[in-house]
Amino acid sequence: MTGGGARSGLAGARNAAVSALLIAVLAVGCGSGATQSRKGRLQADAARICDRVNSALTTQAPAGASRATLARIVAENAVLEQHAVTELDRLTAPAALRTRWTALLGYRRTLASELAEFAPVKARGDEARAQALLAAKAALHLKLLEAADAVGVPQCANAG
C-alpha cells in the first residue's frame, strides 16, 4: 500500500467517526433529551414555588391561641396555598408526567379549598365539621405525597 492509500484510509475512518459522533449528538438532542430537559425545568420550577410557600406557611399556632387567632392563621395559609396552586398551574408538564402532574394540582387545589373552608369553621367553633375536614385532609395528603414523589417534587407534598 502506498502512503496515499494509508492517508485515504485514515481520512475515511475519521469521517466515519465524525459521522457516528454527529448521529449520537443529534439523537441525544431529540426525544428523551428534550423531555428530560422539560421534566427538569418543571421539577425545578415546582420545587422553587413549593419551597417558598412551605417556608411562608404558619404550621403551628401559638400555645393557647384563641379561635380567632387560629382562624386568621388558617385563612392566611389558605391564601398562600391558593396562590401556589395558581403558580403551579402555569407550569407545563411533559407528556410523560402530565397525568401525575394534573393529579398533584387537583390534590393541592382541593386542599387549598378545604383550608379556606376550615378558617370560618374553626372561627365559629364547629368542631364536628373541623374534624371532618381534618380527616379528609389527612387522606388527601397521602395521595398528594404519592403524586409529588411520582413527579419528582417531594417539596410539593406539603400543603397547608
Read off the pLDDT of residues 77-135 as tens digits, 9 standing for 90 and up. Answer: 889 999 999 999 999 999 999 999 999 999 999 999 998 898 888 888 899 998 999 99
Q: Is there a single domain that holds both residue 15 and residue 45?
A: no
Q: Is there a single domain that holds both residue 23 and residue 50?
A: no
For the question of whether the overall pTM of this predicted structure is more than 0.75, the answer is no
* Helices 127-151/32-56 angle, 10° precision: 150
Extract the C-alpha cell encoding 34: 428534550
Q: Is there a single domain that holds both residue 118 and residue 57?
A: yes
In this structure, the number of other CB atoms found within 10 A of the CB of residue 87 comes to: 16
Extract the C-alpha cell encoding 10: 485514515
Helix, strand or coil, per DSSP, at residue 47: helix
Q: Is there a single domain that holds both residue 7 and residue 76?
A: no
> Is residue 22 over pLDDT 60?
no
Q: Give the domain range for residue 63.
A: 38-157
Read off the pLDDT of residues 33-73 as tens digits, 9 standing for 90 and up. Answer: 666 799 999 999 999 999 999 988 876 777 888 888 888 88
Extract the C-alpha cell encoding 21: 459522533
pLDDT at 19: 44
Q: Is there a single domain that holds both residue 53 and residue 110?
A: yes
Gap between the Cα atoms of 28 and 98, Å rounded: 22
Q: Is there a single domain that holds both residue 20 and residue 91?
A: no
CB of 115 closer than 8 Å to CB of 160: yes
Q: Is there a single domain that holds both residue 23 and residue 56?
A: no
Q: Which of 79, 84, 75 is nearest to 104 (CA)?
A: 84
Q: Is there a single domain that holds both residue 65 and residue 116?
A: yes
Q: Is there a single domain that holds both residue 26 and residue 91?
A: no
